[in-house]
Amino acid sequence: MARMKDQCVVVTGGASGIGEATARAIVEEGGAVVIADLQEERGHALAGELGERALFHHTDVTRESDIIAAIALAQDRYGPLGGMVNNAGIVGAVGSIMDTDVAAFDHTMAILSRAVFLGIKHAARAMRAQGKGSIVSLASTAGVVGGQGPHVYTMAKHGVVGLTRSAACELSRLGIRVNAVAPGGTVTPMTDALGDNNPASTAQFIAQNSPLGIACMPEDIARGILFLLSDETRYMTGHTLVIDAGLTTGAVPPPFFSQQADLLLHAGLRGSDNAK
Ligand SMILES: NC(=O)c1ccc[n+]([C@@H]2O[C@H](COP(=O)([O-])OP(=O)(O)OC[C@H]3O[C@@H](n4cnc5c(N)ncnc54)[C@H](O)[C@@H]3O)[C@@H](O)[C@H]2O)c1
């Protein structure tokens, strides 16, 4: 399948984890990608591996001029901008809200929230001439419910979901679609600490906490991003695609299966009693 044939896409944070898997998938599906990341070594190595349809551009997403330059490079080398993936991220400020420092708050918001605003702003400016384009931003399960991440991360990711809806309202008339993907815990360098910096242990930890009992890999999320970038979703905009094994629907991980089954059974019995 070549769903991205001749499409030019910028992926922020494309040197690692979900961004890397997305960059690989774009090239595999016939597109071209600019990997816009801080990590020079990883970014250059990945672009070298992917060949002539991939370039690395040193980008700090907190700098508006860097985002503008990454998009300009993509257009210059590969033609009109077809897609933008606002993916760069960090965990950022952690701990009690009572102890969270304002500088840490500002830094976290600059990467997780302000940079998504800048990515949508400049991608839309680039796409409006051709009246077509697809923008996908990374939210999180922490962007749709509480208790899935630190406070500032949760606030920023809820902001991504909100801006996705708001920008979709304005940009639909220009033919530009704006969507988000909300992953649950995924095995990437960002979640390394969950498994003491051992990806196999991280995968085990994530699988144990997944209602499907399996670990989410970066490719699972990249497939969702590709779906939203491609014309398969030409009628979807303003949508947040949650990819979390059902966690935010109320599904529970394996250790709680029997507890939930009991609860559902009792709810069912009560329902049938009431119906008599
Ligand atoms: N891994 C998860 O469990 C998970 C879950 C939900 C959402 N997400 C989101 O997915 C996105 C990708 O995360 P990941 O898990 O692949 O993490 P990762 O750490 O593997 O990759 C993040 C990339 O962003 C880059 N980056 C960080 N700050 C940057 C900056 N200022 N400018 C440019 N690039 C910068 C890093 O260099 C890195 O390459 C993030 O937005 C994250 O919040 C991840």
CA distances from 115 to 12, 88, 253 (A): 10, 8, 33
Rounded mean pLDDT, 247-258: 90
Query: Number of H helices and number of E strands within the chain?
Result: 9, 7
Ranking 72-76, 227-231, 248-252, 256-260 by mean pLDDT, the lowest is: 256-260
**β-bridge mates for residue 12, sequence order:** 36
**CA 16 – ligand 1 centroid, Å:** 7
**Structural domain boundaries in the chain:** 8-245
**CA 72 – ligand 1 centroid, Å:** 22
> Distance (Å, rounded) from C-alpha 246 to C-alpha 253?
10
Dig out the tokens for 178 from the structure: 């704006």
pLDDT (tens digit, 9 = 90+) per residue, 128-185?
999 999 999 999 999 999 999 999 999 999 999 999 999 999 999 999 999 999 999 9
Residue 228: which residues within 8 A CB-CB, separation 6 or more?
134, 136, 177, 179, 181, 236, 239, 241
CATH number of this structure's domain 8-245, picked from the four choices 3.40.605.10, 3.60.15.10, 3.40.50.720, 3.30.565.10: 3.40.50.720
Say yes or no to pLDDT of 273 above 70: no
Q: Which of 159, 172, 163, 157 is CA-nearest to residue 235?
A: 172
Say yes or no to pLDDT of 235 above 80: yes
Say yes or no to pLDDT of 29 above 60: yes
Nearest atom of ligand 1 to the alpha carbon of 62: 31
Q: Is the CB of 179 under 6 A from ligand 1?
A: no
**CA 58 – ligand 1 centroid, Å:** 15
Q: Of 71, 188, 210, 247, which is best to mutate to test ligand 1, by the most ligand atoms within 8 angstroms of its C-beta?
A: 188
**CA 59 – ligand 1 centroid, Å:** 13
Tell me if 178 sits within 8 A of 237, measured CB to CB.
yes
Q: Is the CB of 15 under 6 A from ligand 1?
A: yes
Nearest atom of ligand 1 to the alpha carbon of 206: 3
Catalytic residue ranges = 153
Q: Is the CB of 217 under 6 A from ligand 1?
A: no
Query: What's this model's pTM, rounded to 2 decimal places?
Result: 0.96
> Distance (Å, rounded) from C-alpha 188 to C-alpha 174?
35
Q: Is the CB of 12 under 6 A from ligand 1?
A: yes
Q: Which of 1, 5, 20, 16 is CA-nearest to residue 225?
A: 20
Largest CA distance in the chain: 71
Q: Is the CB of 59 under 6 A from ligand 1?
A: yes
Rounded mean pLDDT, 96-106: 97
